[in-house]
């Protein structure tokens, strides 16, 4: 920081991008941000000179824009490093406490309001104490997108400008290097990564058209403390994956006055969440090496994202249906092995509820209660592919296929998201299969994020030499611990397509207009496999991403990070 090279420019760019609302999914606002990124990236050429870059927008199916800009060296090497980041953010409803949610995009005004708020409050909780301490230092920039991840995109723009800008002799830094740089800025990472998924075929086309060799991707998604030590920064060479285990639950409805005659679907759902939530047996791990270092990585255990019964209104009857889906971060786990664990847990949960009903009845009976004895239940746990087979036997393949097409077209415009659509399709199939109760159907809902296994390559070798002097402050780790677009640039799970065909209702399913219901399909996985890019993540450091006190630590993020990336690029291309 004593000899600042990048700081002022990255700060200026970050504030400019933060000032543009790009909450996902909002086509108009995200496209405004894409336009701004284009203008800011090409700023070195706004003196009337013809840009010596290839740039343009790559559109998603719903009309949002990826911005891509290829900066080519005059040495005409095909070797290319991709600088990637996403520019969408999550919502800002929390900021209403400051009078106007738009203040989330105005760092200076936000800091002033936060100071007033903290000074008036006598009992700060832990997160507030941390935010107040950081606010007073002046080293942290607060606001939506400050760390996740307008600052990451700003870093990439600053790097592109530095390598591209001609001096008075029309000399560019890029021309000293034996390689090219491709900037890719994507929308929609925060929902289902539509931006990067749409960009994959464009990356393949550009590679063929310009005869490029993609050395790898440097992503600038944010990093945060991994434990109580806030002084360590992290760089990653892989990324965590994600599955969304889903459970459609059929109970046996009964009047609340005759409670032992039925099985409450809500109780099954609750027992299933109790069985899976934070279960250490579901923790995924990986042991490998980077350079001379042996690494063991551990993913966090799963947690339920939704648990609800499907009763449309109040009545004095127990729930007949329920729906649960669970967030599960993975390192090596493949969908096939995951499904086995899901089925085991579903059997355990359903069996536990049936036993609880019987035990409760026995206690009730001992106290003198007089109700009919619970029936003996045939407990069914069935996976999605087995449900399809059962439905096919009942109605035939042709009728079943037509039913699925009709229901996809009927429900697609009515549902909130692809999770709800998946549930409705499974419910229709359960009816068609005449599935007896109680039962649990196990399946996967979108999105699916494949994990990317850490590996050594030209990028990691160059990076290791660059950060060697920072070994006490910067740690090299395997898996980026948050869901990211990096999952869709290399495929390390060759059997994923077959497993998703069996267990994900929306995989390879199209609406009447031929549009895919879920953008990730068999063809897309083949494209990702063809792209096969090594990945690393070198991102800004901050706290409370997605939260009210989202903030980025400027000294490291706005100076050290771009310098590390710059030196890594030079190291790769100077060999």
Report how far residue 573's alpha carbon sits from residue 575's, in angstroms, rounded to the nearest whole number: 6
Residues 6+ apart with CB under 8 A from 418: 192, 445, 446, 447, 506, 517, 518
Number of CB atoms found within 10 A of residue 241's CB: 27
Cβ atoms of residues 66 and 22 within 8 Å? no
pLDDT (0 to 100) of residue 295: 81
Check residue 365 and give its pLDDT: 87
Among 202-216, 343-357, 505-519, the least confident range: 505-519
Domain presence at residue 553: yes
Find residue 321's DSSP bridge partners. 250
Residue for token pair 């009919």 = 372
Average pLDDT estimate for 413-419:
92
Mark whether 407 and 482 lie in a shared domain. Answer: no
**CB-CB contact of 36 with 20 (8 Å):** yes
For residue 50 the two structure tokens come to 């013809």
pLDDT at 468: 83
Instruction: Report the distance separating Cα 9 and Cα 17, nearest Å.
Output: 12
Q: At 278, list the tokens.
A: 């934070």
**The pairing of beta strand 180-186 with beta strand 65-71:** antiparallel
Per the structure, the count of domains in the chain is 2
The CATH code of the domain that includes 205 is 3.40.630.10
* Positive/negative CA dihedral, 87, 164, 80, 6: negative
Whether residue 344 is found in the same domain as residue 439: yes
Q: Are residues 412 and 465 in the same domain?
A: no
- Bridge partners, residue 526, by sequence: none
Distance CA 509, CA 495 (A): 19
Q: How far apart are the first and last CA of the chain?
A: 28
Q: Are residues 37 and 157 in the same domain?
A: yes
Instruction: Decide if 515 is inside a domain.
Output: no
Closest by CA to 239, choosing from 529, 453, 541, is 453
Q: Is 439 in the same domain as 466? A: no
Distance, in Å, from the CA atom of 263 to the CA atom of 459, rounded to the nearest integer, reads 56
Residue 561 token pair = 């990070």
Q: In the structure encoding, which two tokens stand for residue 474, read together? A: 């910067």
Q: Alpha-carbon distance 113 to 117, whole Å?
A: 6
Contact (CB, 8 A) for 440 and 247: yes
Flag whether pLDDT at 190 surpasses 80: yes
Q: Enumerate residues 6+ apart whose C-beta is below 8 A from 235.
A: 223, 463, 467, 474, 475, 476, 477, 536, 537, 538, 564
Domain boundaries, position 37: 7-239+450-490+532-573
* C-alpha 549, offset from chain centre: 21
Give me the pLDDT at residue 166, please.
80
Residues 455 and 554 in one domain: yes
Residues 199 and 285 in one domain: no
Strand 140-142 to 551-553 pairing? antiparallel
Residues 218 and 250 in one domain: no
Domain final position from 389, 413, 444: 444
Residues 250 and 336 in one domain: yes
Query: Residue 476 forms beta bridges with which residues?
Result: 235
CATH classification of the domain holding 261: 3.30.70.360
Distance CA 383, CA 401 (A): 18
pLDDT digits (tens, 9 = 90+) for 118-138: 998 888 999 999 999 999 999
Asked whether residue 456 falls in the same domain as residue 380, the answer is no
Asked if the structure places residue 343 within a domain, the reply is yes
Q: Clarify whether residues 411 and 552 are in a common domain.
A: no
Is a pLDDT exceeding 90 seen at residue 1? Answer: no
Q: Domain for residue 508, yes or no?
A: no
| pLDDT at position 475 | 87
User: Does 50 have pLDDT greater than 70?
Assistant: no
The answer to whether residue 311 sits within a structural domain is yes
* Cis peptide upstream of residue 343 (ω within 30 degrees of 0): no
pLDDT tens-place string over residues 421-441 = 999 999 999 999 999 999 999
Residue 559 within any structural domain of the chain = yes
What tens digit of pLDDT does each residue of 18-38 get? 999 999 999 999 999 999 999
Select from 533, 503, 504 the least CA-distant residue to 516: 504
Measured on CA atoms in the order 24, 27, 32, 35, is the torsion positive or negative? positive
234 with 382, same domain: the answer is: no
In a domain, 153, yes or no: yes
Give the chain's mean pLDDT: 93
User: pLDDT digit string (tens) for 264-300?
Assistant: 999 999 999 999 999 999 999 999 877 667 788 999 9
Which of 413, 444, 475 is the C-terminal boundary of a domain? Answer: 444
501 in a structural domain: no
Domain stop point among 444, 465, 481: 444
What are the b/e assignments for 338-357, b being 16+ CB within 10 Å?
Answer: bbebbbebbbebbebbbeeb
Contacts 24+ apart (CB under 8 A), 505-511: 505/384, 505/422, 505/425, 505/426, 505/443, 505/445, 506/418, 506/421, 506/422, 506/425, 506/445, 506/446, 509/404, 509/408, 510/408, 511/408, 511/409, 511/412
pLDDT interval class at 47 (50, 70, 90): low
CB 448 within 8 A of CB 245: no
pLDDT at 575: 60
Contact between 442 and 247 under an 8 Å Cβ cutoff? The reply is yes
305-356 per-position pLDDT tens digit:
999 999 999 999 999 999 999 999 999 999 999 999 999 999 999 999 999 9
Asked if residues 82 and 533 have their Cβ atoms less than 8 Å apart, the reply is yes
Which residues in 523-551 are b (16+ Cβ under 10 Å) and which e? ebbebbeebebbbbbbbbbbbbbeebbbb
Residue at token pair 């911005």: 67
């Amino acid at each position: 920081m004593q000899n600042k090279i990048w700081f002022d420019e990255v700060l200026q760019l970050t504030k400019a991008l933060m000032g543009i609302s790009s909450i996902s999914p909002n086509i108009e606002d995200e496209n405004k941000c894409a336009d701004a990124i284009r203008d800011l990236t090409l700023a070195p050429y706004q003196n009337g000179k013809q840009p010596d870059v290839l740039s343009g927008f790559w559109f998603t199916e719903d009309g949002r824009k990826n911005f891509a800009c290829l900066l080519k060296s005059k040495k005409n090497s095909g070797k290319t490093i991709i600088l990637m980041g996403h520019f969408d953010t999550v919502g800002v409803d929390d900021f209403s406490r400051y009078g106007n949610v738009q203040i989330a995009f105005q760092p200076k005004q936000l800091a002033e309001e936060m100071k007033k708020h903290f000074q008036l409050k006598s009992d700060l909780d832990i997160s507030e104490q941390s935010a107040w301490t950081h606010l007073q230092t002046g080293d942290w920039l607060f606001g939506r997108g400050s760390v996740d991840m307008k600052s990451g995109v700003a870093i990439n723009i600053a790097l592109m400008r530095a390598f591209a800008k001609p001096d008075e002799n029309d000399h560019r830094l890029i021309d000293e290097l034996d390689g090219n740089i491709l900037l890719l800025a994507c929308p929609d990472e925060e929902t289902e990564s539509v931006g990067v998924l749409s960009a994959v075929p464009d990356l393949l086309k550009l590679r063929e058209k310009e005869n490029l060799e993609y050395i790898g991707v440097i992503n600038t998604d944010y990093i945060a403390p991994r434990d109580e030590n806030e002084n360590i920064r992290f760089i990653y060479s892989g990324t965590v994956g994600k599955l969304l285990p889903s459970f459609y639950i059929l109970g046996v409805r009964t009047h609340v006055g005759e409670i032992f005659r039925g099985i409450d679907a809500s109780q099954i759902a609750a027992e299933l969440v109790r069985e899976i939530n934070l279960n250490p047996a579901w923790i995924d791990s990986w042991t490998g090496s980077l350079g001379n270092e042996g690494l063991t990585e551990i993913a966090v255990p799963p947690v339920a994202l939704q648990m609800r019964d499907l009763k449309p209104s109040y009545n004095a009857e127990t729930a007949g249906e329920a729906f649960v889906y669970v967030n599960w971060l993975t390192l090596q786990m493949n969908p096939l092995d995951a499904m086995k664990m899901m089925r085991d847990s579903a059997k355990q949960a359903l069996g536990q509820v049936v036993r609880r009903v019987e035990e409760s009845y026995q206690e009730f009976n001992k106290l003198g209660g007089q109700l009919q004895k619970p029936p003996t239940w045939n407990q069914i746990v069935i996976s999605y592919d087995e449900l399809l087979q059962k439905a096919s036997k009942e109605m035939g393949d042709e009728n079943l296929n037509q039913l699925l097409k009709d229901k996809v077209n009927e429900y697609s415009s009515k549902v909130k998201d692809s999770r709800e659509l998946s549930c409705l399709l499974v419910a229709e199939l359960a009816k068609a299969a005449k599935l007896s109760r109680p039962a649990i159907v196990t399946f996967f809902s979108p999105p699916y994020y494949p994990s990317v296994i850490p590996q050594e390559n030209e990028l990691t070798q160059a990076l290791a030499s660059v950060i060697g002097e920072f070994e006490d402050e910067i740690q090299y780790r395997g898996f980026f611990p948050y869901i990211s677009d990096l999952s869709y640039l290399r495929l390390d799970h060759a059997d994923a397509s077959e497993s998703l065909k069996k267990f994900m209702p929306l995989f390879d399913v199209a609406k009447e207009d031929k549009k895919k219901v879920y953008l990730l399909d068999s063809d897309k996985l083949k494209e990702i496999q063809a792209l096969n890019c090594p990945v690393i993540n070198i991102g800004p450091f901050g706290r409370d991403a997605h939260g009210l006190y989202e903030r980025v630590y400027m000294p490291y993020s706005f100076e050290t990070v771009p310098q590390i990336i710059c030196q890594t690029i030079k190291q790769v291309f100077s060999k």
